[in-house]
Amino acid sequence: MMKWRYSLRLSQKFLPKAFLSIASKYPDRPALVVGDTVWTYSLLLKHAQQIAFVLHNKYNIGPGKFVMLMISKTHSSAFTSMLAVLLVGACYVPVDDKKCPIERAGLIFLLKLTCVTMPMYQ
């Protein structure tokens, strides 16, 4: 089970800015707990920025783009990937990695979603 610390009730537009603010104030505090693993704000931000760099520079992802994320909701990579997409100003479309039928593949092309294989972090 995962949980966020310091819950925010902000729109998607302001989430990256708010996260960066909290991460700069409390870099060593727990941001995410995945099982027995605790992610600090600085570690979560570091991984998200690495993914954001690749999304922006290799795939030209930025504001106005949609990125389909086929990742497990019970893995920390879900949170780092979502945060990375938001950091570059794009919108993520979450798709359950175990329940995505092949028929949805047409939706990817119809909506012109960018599909990126995200690395799995432990």
Rounded mean pLDDT, 71-94: 83
The CATH topology of domain 2-115 is Rossmann fold (3.40.50)
C-alpha dist (Å) from residue 7 to 10, 19, 93, 101: 9, 10, 21, 33
Beta bridge partners of 66: 91
- The reported pTM is 0.74
- Determine the pLDDT at residue 103: 55
Tell me which residue of 121, 39, 47, 54 sits closest to 90, measured CA to CA: 54
Instruction: Answer whether residue 107 shows pLDDT above 50.
Output: yes
Name the average pLDDT for the chain: 76
DSSP 95: E
pLDDT over threshold 90, residue 53:
yes
Closest-CA residue to 116 (of 54, 33, 49, 62): 54
Quick one: angle between helices 76-87 and 41-59, nearest 10? 60
